[in-house]
Structure 1
Amino acid sequence: MANLPPSLSMKSVALSGASSSSCNDRKLLSAEQLILDLSNPELRENALHELSKKREIFQDLAPLLWHSVGTIPALLQEIISVYPVLSPPTMTPAQSNRVCNALALLQCVASHTDTRMLFLKAHLPLYLYAFLNTSSKSRPFEYLRLTSLGVIGALVKVDDTEVIRFLLQTEIVPLCLRTMENGSELSKTVATFIVQKVLLDDVGLEYMCTTAERFFALGRVLGNMVTSLAEGPSPRLLKHIIRCYLRLTDNPRACDALGSCLPDLLRDATFSGCLYDDPPAMQWLQQLLHNIKVGGRAPQGLAHMFVN
C-alpha cells in the first residue's frame, strides 16, 4: 500500500473505513432486530439463541438490552417460567438451554460498566438464587447452576464493596457453599471464586469472621474440598481454595482457628505436584503456612474467639 499513488492509497483507506463502518452498522441493525424479537413469544427462542451466541460481537449489547422496552421483563419471564420444574426436578435439556441463553444475556448486562449497578439496584440477582438452591446433579440442572454462577461471577469480577454488600445481604455465601459441596468441578470452581472475591473485600472478610458459625461453615466446606482433591486434583480449584484460606489469615481470630482446622493435606507435600506449574499458588500456600505459624496461638476453645 505504501507504493500506491497517494490518491489510490487514500481511496483504499476510505473504502476500508466505509466497509468497516457498514459492517458495524449491519451488526447493530441485526442486534436491534433480535432484541425486538425478544418481545415476541413466537420469535423469542431464536432471538435468545442468536443473541447469546453472538453477544461478544455485538458492541454495547448490554445497554441495548437494558434500555429497550420490554426486553428485561422478557428475560425474567424466561427465568420464572422454569421455576415449576425445579422441584420436583423435571426440567428438560431444551428448557435448560433456553433459560441459560436468557441468563447469558443477563450476564452481559451484569458485566457492562454502564449497566452493572442498574442490574444490581433492580435486585435481578435474586431471580437466580432458586437455581443455585437446586440439588439435582443431572446435566440440565448443572448447566443452569453454572450459568447462574457465571452471572454472579461477572458482578464480583470488578472489585466493588457495594456489590459485595448486596450479595452478603441476600445470603449468596450459603448458596455458594452448597454448590462447593455438591456441584461439578467447574461449578465448584466458579462458586469458590465468588467466595474468594467476597473474602478479598474487607466487608466480606469481616462478615465471614464475625461469628463462629459462619467461619466454621466455610472451613468445613473448604476442608472437605481439599480432601476430595487429594483423590482427583484440580489445580485451578485448589488455587482458589488456597487463596480463600490465605485471606482468612488476615483476620487474627480466623488465623488462630486455622492453626487447628487447616487440613493436614495442605501442610505436607500432597499437592506439590499439582502446584508445581503454578508458582503464585505455591507462594500463596507457603505464605498461608507462614501466617498460621507466626500468628496462631493455642488452638483450644476456638469458638469463644468469635462474637455471636
Structure 2
Amino acid sequence: MEQEEREERWEERSLNLLEDSKIDQEFSEAKLKKKGRKKHKQKWMKRPTAVPEVILEFLDEDLRENALRALANFLLDRFEENPEDYFQAGLFLFFSCSTMALLLYEVVDFLKKMSSDMEITLRSTKRLANVLTLFQSIAANKEIRRQFIMTAIPNFLMPIIVEKSKFEVVEQVRPIALSVIGILCQGRDSDVIMWATRNNVVNVCHASLKTGSELTKVIAMHILEYILRDTYGRSFICDPNRAILESLVDTWNQMVVALTDDRDLSPRLLFHVLRCYVLLCVHPRGLSLMVTSLPSEISGNAVADISEEFPAIQSLRCQLLNIGTEYTPTKTDGERYIER
C-alpha cells in the first residue's frame, strides 16, 4: 500500500504533467484503483504577491529549502486548478534576478553528491524534486521554452537521469528530471526537437528504457514519440548513417518480449511501444524495418488478451499486423491516439 501511494505521488510530479498523459492515467486506474488523498492546501499562496515573495526567499540560504517546497506544492495544485497561475509562475521564475542561477546551483550541488561518496538522503532528493517542479513550470510556458534551452540548464539534468548511484532514493527524482525534457518536447516546437536530437536526448531516453523504472520508461517513450512526430526528429532517428534506429527497435522488441512474459504486464508501456512502431512506419526506412523486425509476440495470445481490455492497444496492434499486406500506416494513424 505504501509503495503504491509513493509511486502515485511521483507520477503526479512527473508523468501527469505531460499534456497527453491522460491515457497513461487510464491504464493505471484500470490496473490499480487509486486511493484518494487530500492535498495539502496553502491558502496564503493565493495572494497576488505570494509567488514573488517566495521567490525572493530563495536568496536567503536559510529560507531557501522551505521556499522551494512551498512554491513547488503551490505549482502542483495550480497546474490542475488554474493553469494560468502555473504558467505565470514560470515567467516569474525565469525573469527574476538570480533565480535561475540559484536553481542551477541546487542541481550542481546534487550532481556533486552523485559523483562522490557523499550520502544522498531522502531530504536532498525531495529538495531537488522541488527544484525540478519549478523547472517544469518554466518548460511548460511556450513564451520562454526556447530561451530555457538556450540557458543549457536542461542539459545539466541529463546526468541525473542516466548516471548510476548506489543510493536508491535517486531513482525517485530520475522521472521528474526526465519529465522536464518531456514537457519541453511536447510543445511541437521544431527548434526544441532539434535541440533534443543534438543534445543526446534520444540516447538518454534509450538508456532509461534499459535501466529505468516503469515510470521513467513511460516518460522516455513519450519523449521518443514527440521526436518521431516531428519530421526532422523522425529523419534523425531513421538516418542510415546513424545506428539509432536498429538499436531502438531492438530494445523495443526486447521490451515487448519481456512484457508478454510478465504476468503483471504493463499495458501503458506496451501501448507506447506499439505507438512508436506505428510512428516509425511513416518513414520508408522505419516501415521497411517494421516489415522484417516486428516481434512475433504482437500476434500472440498475451497481447491479444490485453488488446481486448484496451481498445487503444487493439487498434495499434491491428495496424501493425497489417503492415506489409494491403495496408501501410500514415502519419495520421501514427498520431491518432496522441491527441487523447
**Match in the other structure for 2:314:** 282
Q: For residues 232-257 of structure 1, what are the alpha-carbon distances to aligned partners after superposition, in whole Å with 9 as ceiling and x for unaligned?
A: 31111111110101111112222222
Q: Report the Cα offset of residue 264 of structure 1.
A: 1.0
| Residue pair 1:189, 1:237 contacting (<8 A) in 2 also | yes
Q: For residues 74-125 of structure 1, what are the alpha-carbon distances to aligned partners after superposition, in whole Å with 9 as ceiling and x for unaligned?
A: 1101000011221357422111111111011001100012221221222221
Q: Report the Cα offset of residue 289 of structure 1.
A: 2.1
Q: Are 2:146 and 1:117 aligned?
A: yes
TM-score norm. by structure 2 comes to: 0.76
TM-score norm. by structure 1 comes to: 0.83
Q: Are 2:101 and 1:69 aligned?
A: no
**Match in the other structure for 1:214:** 244
Amino acid paired to 1:144: V
Q: 2:254 aligns with which of 224, 232, 247?
A: 224
**Structure 2 counterpart SS, 1:240:** helix
**Structure 2 counterpart SS, 1:100:** helix
| Residue pair 1:149, 1:187 contacting (<8 A) in 2 also | yes
- Residues 181-260 of structure 1 mapped to structure 2, 5 A cutoff: 181-211=210-240, 213-230=243-260, 231=262, 232-260=264-292
| Residue pair 1:255, 1:295 contacting (<8 A) in 2 also | no
| Residue pair 2:122, 2:169 contacting (<8 A) in 1 also | yes
**Match in the other structure for 1:265:** 297
Q: Report the Cα offset of residue 138 of structure 1.
A: 4.8
Larger Rg: 1
- Residues 49-128 of structure 1 mapped to structure 2, 5 A cutoff: 49-55=69-75, 56-57=77-78, 59=85, 60-88=88-116, 90-128=119-157
Amino acid paired to 1:76: L
| Residue pair 1:45, 1:98 contacting (<8 A) in 2 also | yes
CA RMSD, 1 decimal: 2.1
Percent identity between the aligned chains?
A: 27
Relative to structure 2, which stretch is displaced further, 112-121 or 287-296?
287-296
Amino acid paired to 2:257: T
**Match in the other structure for 1:302:** none
| Residue pair 1:150, 1:190 contacting (<8 A) in 2 also | yes
Amino acid paired to 1:152: I
In structure 2, C-alpha distance between the alignment counterparts of 1:73 and 1:277, rounded to whole Å? 48
Structure 2 gap segments, 5+ residues each = 1-42, 329-340
In structure 1, C-alpha distance between the alignment counterparts of 2:140 and 2:257, rounded to whole Å? 34
In structure 2, C-alpha distance between the alignment counterparts of 1:137 and 1:180, rounded to whole Å? 19
Higher relative contact order (CA 8 A, sep 6+): 2
| Alignment length (residue pairs) | 274
Q: Report the Cα offset of residue 137 of structure 1.
A: 7.4
Q: For residues 202-240 of structure 1, what are the alpha-carbon distances to aligned partners after superposition, in whole Å with 9 as ceiling and x for unaligned?
A: 111111111261111101111121122111311111111
Q: Report the Cα offset of residue 26 of structure 1.
A: 5.1
Structure 1 gap segments, 5+ residues each = 1-22, 297-308
In structure 2, C-alpha distance between the alignment counterparts of 1:161 and 1:255, rounded to whole Å? 23
**Match in the other structure for 1:304:** none
Q: Are 2:34 and 1:34 aligned?
A: no
